[in-house]
Amino acid sequence: MVGRACSHVADSENSQVTPATTESCQECIELGETTWVHLRLCLTCGHVGCCDSSVHRHATAHFEATQHPVMRSFEPGESWRWCYLDQRLV
């Protein structure tokens, strides 16, 4: 459900994470890949990864490795967040 708070978003609302990069997917760059679709920012640690429409799906892989629950869009003009644990937009 869009717009409904989840139990994990409160943990990230006041966090002041510093993005690990400002314009690229960290893992894609390490792989020599330059064609991701959209970027996502982890609100727990600042990891920047590519979205599930991208070939490598590094944002989801980051969640699977760390269990950091909430990511937000790292695209200009977008402010939505996704909770992986609750599988919902928040």
Q: What is the CATH number of the domain that holds 29?
A: 3.30.40.10
Asked whether residue 42 is domain-assigned, the answer is yes
Asked whether residue 3 is domain-assigned, the answer is no
- Model confidence at 24, pLDDT cuts 50, 70, 90, reads very high
Task: For residues 38 and 40, give the distance between their C-alpha atoms in angstroms, rounded to a whole number.
Answer: 7
pTM for the full predicted model: 0.86
Domain coverage including residue 57? 9-89
Structure confidence at residue 12 (pLDDT): 60
User: For all residues of the chain together, what is the average pLDDT?
Assistant: 87
Neighbouring residues of 7: CB distance < 8 A, sequence distance ≥ 6: 86
